[in-house]
Amino acid sequence: MTRVDYPRSVNFGPPRSFRDVLNSKLKETFFPDDPFRQIKNEPLGRRSIKTIQYFVPICEWLPKYSLAFFKYDLLAGITIASLAIPQGISYANLAKLPPVIGLYSSFVPPLVYALFGSSKHLAVGTVAACSLLIAETIGEKASPTDNQELYVSLIFTATLISGLLQTLLGVLRLGILVDFLAHSTITGFMGGTALLIILQQMKGMLGLKHFTHSTGVIAVLRAIFQNRHEWNWKCALVGIIFLIFLQFTRFVKKKKPKLFWVSAMGPMVVVVIGCLFAYFAHAEKHGIAIVGHLKKGINELSVDRLNFDPKYVSAPLKAGFITALIALAEGIAIGRSFALATNDQIDGNKEMIAFGLMNILGSMTSCYLTTGPFSKTAVNFNAGCKTPMTNIVQSMCMLLVLLFLAPLFSYTPQVALSAIIISAMLGLVKYKKAYHLFKTDKFDFVICMSAFFGVSFISMDMGLMISVGLALIRALLYTARPATCKLGNIADSNLYRDVEQYPGATGVPGFLILQLGSPIYFSSGTYIKERILRWVRDELDSAKPEEHDIEYLLLELGGVTAIDTTGVEALFEVTRNLESKGIKMILVNPRIDVMDKLIVTKFIDKIGKDAVFLSTEDAIDACRFSLQRSKQVNEEGRLNGS
């Protein structure tokens, strides 16, 4: 084929070196946010300062800190502390831990986060889902009531394992793992967990004395209805009043976002009123249980309570592993989304290290797993926080509470805690979001529902794993069946588009133009090969006798970003098959990675450099030109011969 000279030609430059490609891939995989951007191109002195500032962000913002900021941070810090007290006690209750551990967990971890964390808005605290998951997993090995000592120490161990894993993932820059928790998985998981937690709270709301240790929906429902004789209407009445009050405060916030503090203060108000009510009305005599003794004083060291006994260690390992990932997913997603709102950048992997350190130190000072819960962070953001100083303020408030006020909270009625938890959980059942998924993406809906029902009816970890598994299958199916389509010419233009999408687009006689999907990998090589040959067969079958046969197969590769050796072999096989049919293969616009690979595997040598074009238009022009020339040559030959 003679090639017409085009001003625009394909770049057949030598493939980039392996080192360059590896560097660029590693960077995109592990440093997609280019964290050291500010540090490059700086003199050594400034560079070391910047490096320290990078790893310990407090060194960056504290020197610039001003009183103007502190006014905002103080207000926000007090607000989140007032939320931390009831939430801390409630979630510790959910994790079947002594309530004071919930308070401890809002003292040390926020301090650590303030040192290493880079999000301005994140408010550190415990979260409901992880609390329940820990209780479920550790509860299998040790009873929280019969052997509390062991149970608590295993929970500290799980927290340490979470922290170590989070730090490790951050250091290895494996933030990419968190990317595999799809939003739909998280929606379903949170919804299912909220349902479980709400059902668990029926014990507190109805004042039950006997209950199940299981978390499954069916077991809990059975426990509720089998113990009907224990239902306490006074308890339920108090609970419902609290719940209505809390839901009302949320309603106020929803209507007037400026009044966010109404809902932020709600739980604290419920606890205070609950305490007063329990103290003056002698609630316990009416069968309304209270939290009970809360020890004065700050966190005890718990290094000596970490328990790695091989008999039990499987439970903390499992709990630590799963909660580490969930806590990271929640914390990082929330930090990032608030950062986006204010045009800040959050380095996910650095955040992981901050979370990890906070849990490692937490596990040694009688705290259990903490992260950046959505509710608290939103309150912090609305309260106008400016820097991580809010976490220090929160911490100081907790210090005061622990030193002086803790015993007062021992009168908190269980039913008040249940109402607080239920109210928080109702916000997490995102049925609208599930409906949106159903409307927009059925597969995402299935992923979401599998998490929801898996969590509700099997167990939290199984539900999560099934859902993640389905999402991974979706991703793998994508790589196994990349979408290919046939292109046609859009009338009066030089554009070639999918004929299914643009039914007006018409084929070019003598040409079959296919756009291949990406990637051409081991998983898709066979498929792409067979799919191409099927298009060719269909085209040959449908061609009317008077029409031209296919002379050229154009493969538009503009969308293909990766190819592996199996993929190249598939292309080789296609060319061999086409040769036997007398069809020539033409490549259009191979991307840089694909081009490199086609050159090193000598595929370009096989089809010839004159069979690769920069655009479909160029390819068709050149092929037509050479078709006409060969016809002319034939005719001239015939004329000369005659």
Cβ closer to a copy of itself: 156 or 381? 381
Of 218, 184, 215, nearest in space to 197 by CA: 215
Helix axis angle for 260-280 and 233-255, nearest 10°, is: 160
Instruction: Pick between residue 284 and residue 530 the one whose CB is nearest to a copy of itself.
Output: 530
**Per-residue binding letters, 576-615, with a copy of itself (x by CB under 8 A):** xx--xx-------x-xxx-x-x--xx------------xx
Restricted to residues 333-362, the positions that interact with a copy of itself (CB under 8 A) are 336-337, 340-341, 343, 348
Interaction between residue 203 and a copy of itself (CB under 8 A): no
8 near a copy of itself, rule: CB under 8 A: yes
The full length of the chain comes to 642
Confirm or reject binding of residue 149 to a copy of itself (CB under 8 A). no
- Residue 292: C-alpha distances to residues 64, 233, 288, 507 (Å): 45, 22, 12, 80
Binding a copy of itself (rule: CB under 8 A), the pick from 296, 442, 609, 629 is 442
Q: Of 427 and 558, which CB lies nearer to a copy of itself in the complex structure?
A: 558
* Residues 541-560 close enough to bind a copy of itself by CB under 8 A: 558-560
Looking at the Cβ atoms of 216 and 348, the one nearer to a copy of itself is 348
Q: Which residues are bridge partners to 512 per DSSP? A: 553
CA nearest neighbour of 373 among 89, 123, 106, 99: 123
Does residue 491 belong to the site contacting a copy of itself (CB under 8 A)? Answer: yes
Closest distance to a copy of itself from the beta carbon of 386 (Å): 18
Eight-state DSSP code of residue 105:
T
The helices-and-strands tally (H runs, E runs) of the chain is 27, 6
By CB under 8 A, the residues from 12 to 71 that bind a copy of itself are 18, 22, 25, 28-29, 32-34
3-state DSSP of 257-300: HHHHHHHHHHHHHHHHHHHHHHHHCCHHHHCCCECCCCCCCCCC
Interface with a copy of itself, residue 476, by CB under 8 A: yes
**Chain Cα centroid distance, residue 627:** 54
Q: Rule CB under 8 A: is residue 506 a binding residue for a copy of itself?
A: no
Closest CB to a copy of itself among 408 and 495? 495
Q: Which stretch binds a copy of itself (CB under 8 A): 361-369, 393-401, 415-423, 437-445?
A: 437-445
Give yes or no for residue 191 binding a copy of itself (CB under 8 A): no
Looking at residue 346, the DSSP 8-state letter turns out to be: -
- What whole-number distance in Å separates Cα of residue 465 and Cα of residue 558? 36
User: Which long-range contacts does 36-43 make (Cβ < 8 Å, 24+ apart)?
Assistant: none
- Residue 203 CB, shortest distance to a copy of itself, in Å, is 36
Q: Which is nearer to a copy of itself, 591 or 624 (CB)?
A: 591
3-class SS letters over 26-72: HHHHHCCCCCCCCCCCCCHHHHHHHHHHHHCCHHHHCCCCCHHHHHH
d(CA 419, CA 283): 16
- In this chain, which stretch among 57-65, 219-227, 412-420, 469-477 interacts with a copy of itself, using CB under 8 A? 469-477
Minimum CB separation of residue 3 from a copy of itself in Å reads 17
Q: Does 181 bind a copy of itself (CB under 8 A)?
A: yes
- Least distance from a copy of itself to the Cβ atom of residue 320, Å: 23
| Contact flag: residue 183 with a copy of itself (CB under 8 A) | yes
Site for a copy of itself in 507-526 (CB under 8 A): 517-519, 521-526
Query: Can you tell me whether residue 506 is helix, strand or coil?
Result: strand
